[in-house]
């Protein structure tokens, strides 16, 4: 279906014209009355902490619901997505100088979970179109010290799970999925979280599956579940049934506090009940936006393989600055002036971040720098051309379209097309005033 929207040639709001109007999204997250009642009941009963399934059946209930959603895998509910990812790494016994191949283009928690295990992130480049880790870059980075690939399903886009699994199996290394922004996303019919040796998901209040602050790990390996529980759960959840006898001598309270609360356990259960319906709305609105923007010249949506279904945590575009003759940031400033919030989600490639540069670091002491120094890893000035290109050319927009709102999708497209139709004026503006300032994350 092609767009019926005609580009508006009226003067841009950035240049003194009248804005199209503010884009407002449906209320998100939302909770059913049942969810609110159950959560309130946890407070009335004084069930404020969760030591495991035996003591708090609501935790077992939540983990059962999550397990069913992820192909009956073992599930460990946690306090955050970072907690889930670090539990996955610990469960797989990845630590102490082990190398983990991953992406430099993501939110920092995808990397800090590796660092907190005293393991070594090894960055490979990404696909320009999607921002996802490029499987074709991975094999050249594998060394005898490589223990895993950690792939991030960024913005709700599923990474190439088939290719990643094949590489991991070929080289006898582990595959870890970060699905924190991608609950329910599918790659060619395969749901994220069902392919890796472990996967971590965030369920904080801004994610596709939202509670207040929580997460969960899923794994097909029972032992990974127990070993993951040992680093972040009260006494490793040893009061629950099934802990291997050989692990029991090593149980103690030298743990991170990664427990899920009963309050969030019931929210996890109830939020999963409406997840698929909300995903269907996100995807329907995304298809409508893509249709409206079929004539767009400069701002492009990624092209996905047949059968791939993102969950659209954010809507991610790339901007053709060369064709437009202006910078991404000037284009973004014009969009925001018209009423559509947008941002550059990744401010810089992670390998450039000063807290990874042990060679010349002068800030407060950081626990992982000694491990990086021992490994003699040097992240300074890594090439990573696609990741660097996306830092300067990508734009992300909030897209919590979980209820019918076709009019706002049309307004999004109207704003983008209006700005594109006035690109000549923006070129003149940029020549006179200079490029806009950097687009900051929200």
pLDDT in tens, 301-351: 999 998 899 999 999 999 999 999 999 999 999 999 999 999 999 999 999
Q: What average pLDDT does the chain have?
A: 96
| pLDDT tens digits, one per residue of 137-157 | 999 999 999 999 999 999 999
Indicate whether 3 pLDDT > 80: no
Domain 33-273 has CATH 3.30.70.20: no
Indicate whether 9 pLDDT > 70: no
SS3 category, 397: strand
Indicate whether 52 pLDDT > 90: yes
Q: Let me know: does 261 contact 78? Beta carbons within 8 Å.
A: no
Q: What share of the chain in percent tops pLDDT 90?
A: 95
Strand 190-191 relative to strand 174-178: parallel, antiparallel, unpaired? unpaired
Q: What is the pLDDT of residue 437?
A: 73
Q: What is the pLDDT of residue 8?
A: 54
Q: What is the pLDDT of residue 2?
A: 44
Give every CB contact of residue 426 below 8 A, 6+ residues apart in sequence.
12, 14, 324, 326, 330, 331, 334, 419
Q: What is the pLDDT of residue 50?
A: 87
Quick one: angle between helices 81-91 and 222-232, nearest 10?
A: 120
Q: What is the pLDDT of residue 363?
A: 97
Indicate whether 4 pLDDT > 60: no
Indicate whether 49 pLDDT > 50: yes
Q: What is the pLDDT of residue 442?
A: 43
Mean local confidence (pLDDT), 402-421: 97
Residue 187 carries which DSSP code?
Answer: E
Q: Let me know: does 156 contact 311? Beta carbons within 8 Å.
A: yes
Mean local confidence (pLDDT), 389-408: 97
Domain residue ranges in the chain: 13-30+275-347+384-433, 33-273
What phi and psi values does residue 76 have, to the nearest 5 degrees?
-125, 110
User: Could you tell me the fold of the domain covering 13-30+275-347+384-433?
Assistant: 3.90.1150
Residue of 291, 318, 405, 388 whose CA lies nearest to 347: 388
Q: What is the pLDDT of residue 1?
A: 38
Residue 365, token pair as written in the block: 């002491």
What phi and psi values does residue 396 have, to the nearest 5 degrees?
-115, 145
Residue of 205, 198, 264, 195 whose CA lies nearest to 226: 198
Residue 434, class by beta-carbon neighbours within 10 Å (0-12 exposed, 13-18 middle, 19+ buried)? Answer: exposed
Task: Label residues 251-284 b or e (16+ Cβ within 10 Å = b).
Answer: eeeebbebbbbbbbbbbbbbbbeebeebbebbbe
| pLDDT tens digits, one per residue of 214-261 | 999 999 999 999 999 999 999 999 999 999 999 999 999 999 999 999
Q: What share of the chain in percent tops pLDDT 70?
A: 97
């Amino acid at each position: 279906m092609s767009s019926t929207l005609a580009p508006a040639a009226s003067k841009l709001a950035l240049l003194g014209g009248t804005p199209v109007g503010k884009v407002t999204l449906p209320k998100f997250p939302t909770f059913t009355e049942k969810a609110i009642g159950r959560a309130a009941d946890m407070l009335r009963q004084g069930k404020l902490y969760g030591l495991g399934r035996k003591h708090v059946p609501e935790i077992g209930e939540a983990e059962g619901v999550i397990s069913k959603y992820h192909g009956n895998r073992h599930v460990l509910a946690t306090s955050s997505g970072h907690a889930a990812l670090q539990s996955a790494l610990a469960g797989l016994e990845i630590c102490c100088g082990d190398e983990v191949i991953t992406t430099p283009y993501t939110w920092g928690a995808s990397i800090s979970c590796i660092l907190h295990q005293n393991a070594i992130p090894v960055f490979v480049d990404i696909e320009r179109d999607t921002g996802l880790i490029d499987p074709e870059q991975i094999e050249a980075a594998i060394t005898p010290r490589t223990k895993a690939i950690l792939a991030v399903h960024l913005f709700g886009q599923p990474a190439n799970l088939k290719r990643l699994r094949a590489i991991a199996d070929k080289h006898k290394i582990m595959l870890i999925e970060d699905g924190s922004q991608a609950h329910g996303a599918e790659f060619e019919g395969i749901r994220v979280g069902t392919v890796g040796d472990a996967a971590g998901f965030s369920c904080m209040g801004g994610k596709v599956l939202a509670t207040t602050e929580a997460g969960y790990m899923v794994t097909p390996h029972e032992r990974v579940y127990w070993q993951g529980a040992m680093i972040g759960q009260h006494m490793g959840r040893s009061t629950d049934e099934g802990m291997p006898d050989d692990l029991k001598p090593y149980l103690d309270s030298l743990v991170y506090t990664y427990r899920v609360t009963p309050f969030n356990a019931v929210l996890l259960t109830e939020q999963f009940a409406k997840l698929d319906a909300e995903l269907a709305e996100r995807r329907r609105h995304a298809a409508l936006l893509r249709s409206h923007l079929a004539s767009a010249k400069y701002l492009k949506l990624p092209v996905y393989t047949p059968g791939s279904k993102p969950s659209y945590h954010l809507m991610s575009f790339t901007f053709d600055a060369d064709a437009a003759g202006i910078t991404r940031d000037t284009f973004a400033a014009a969009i925001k002036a018209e009423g559509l919030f947008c941002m550059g989600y990744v401010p810089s490639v992670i390998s450039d971040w000063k807290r990874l540069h042990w060679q010349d670091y002068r800030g407060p002491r950081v626990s992982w720098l000694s491990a990086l120094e021992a490994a003699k890893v040097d992240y300074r000035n890594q090439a990573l051309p696609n990741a660097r290109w996306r830092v300067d050319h990508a734009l992300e927009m909030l897209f919590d379209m979980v209820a019918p709102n076709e009019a706002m999708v049309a307004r999004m497209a109207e704003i983008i097309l209006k700005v594109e139709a006035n690109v000549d004026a923006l070129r003149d503006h940029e020549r006179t005033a200079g490029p806009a300032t950097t687009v900051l994350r929200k």
